[in-house]
Amino acid sequence: MKIGIIGVGNIGGTLARKLHAAGHEVRVANKGGIAGVQKFAEENDVRPADIPGVIDNVHVIILSIPTPAIQQLPGDLFAQLAEDVIVIDTSNYYPGMRDSHIPDIDDGLTESVWVARQIGRPVIKAFNNVLANTLQQLGSPEGTAGRLAIAVAGDVPSHKEVAMSLVNQVGFDAVDAGALADSWRQQPSTPAYCCDLDAVAMRKALADAIPGVASAKRDRLPELFSTLGANPTHEQVIAMNRKVNAV
């Protein structure tokens, strides 16, 4: 497939490399225009593009930018896309830590429902509930015992099917997390968030999530993670997430 990725940070950049390795034609863009992604593209054998160009004639668009940055995309960017073009949102909302506040989300609106409203089309929520290191290093072939899982939520079955296939191709079991409105169950500080779970444990974690609890836990993360020092190991981060996110 032809896949356009907006954002080449830890998640977007890793997806670009892995999806290219899986045989897809990948192009990348960020707010810096073609020059802003030229070096990344050359180093990873993908195509550089500007924001309008990255979504031109593609099958899948991956939004891998901070949640508030969705508002900075051109307002008519997605207006001419065909209905069968799939949009995957990998973002997470961290108000007061990294992100400016979004009142609708602060009032309880599910993050990716807000994203879908901003861009005016359905989105699939995926790749948001694994750490970048997990995505980079811990994928494994389909059928591997204990293979880690990624949650996938959305409202268009055919779009979700493609997203789940991409999850599998980059080395993880895809777990159907329900409708987009249910994707709060994989948002930061829920039991399913960044805890390196296999598919069985992921399904249980999604089911165990309690409405309205995660945001208070999320807001304590800077204080809690400061106890780990400046350079915590992957194992320390996972252990802290499991402790904080537990019901």
What are the residue boundaries of the structural domains of the chain, listed by start?
66-245
Structure confidence by residue, pLDDT tens digits, 24-49 = 999 999 999 999 999 999 999 999 99
Position 172 scores a pLDDT of 98
Closest CA to 65 of 96, 38, 41, 32: 32
| Rounded average pLDDT over 89-98 | 91
The CA-CA-CA angle for residues 71, 90, 18, to 5°, reads 130
Residue 221 confidence class, pLDDT cut points 50, 70, 90: confident
Sign, CA torsion 217/222/228/232: positive
Helix orientation angle between 157-169 and 10-21, rounded to the nearest 10 degrees: 80
Query: 155: how many CB neighbours lie within 10 A of its CB?
Result: 16
Chain-centroid distance, C-alpha 108 = 19
Averaged confidence pLDDT in the chain: 95
Position 239 scores a pLDDT of 95
Rounded CA separation 22/105 (Å):
35
Structure confidence by residue, pLDDT tens digits, 107-122 = 999 999 999 999 999 9
Structure confidence by residue, pLDDT tens digits, 58-92 = 999 999 999 999 999 998 999 989 999 999 999 99
Phi, psi of 117 (to 5 degrees): -70, -35
Position 230 scores a pLDDT of 85
Position 247 scores a pLDDT of 73
Identify the weakest region by mean pLDDT among 69-78, 127-136, 151-160: 69-78
What is the pTM (predicted TM-score) of this model?
Answer: 0.96
Q: Which CATH class is domain 66-245?
A: alpha beta
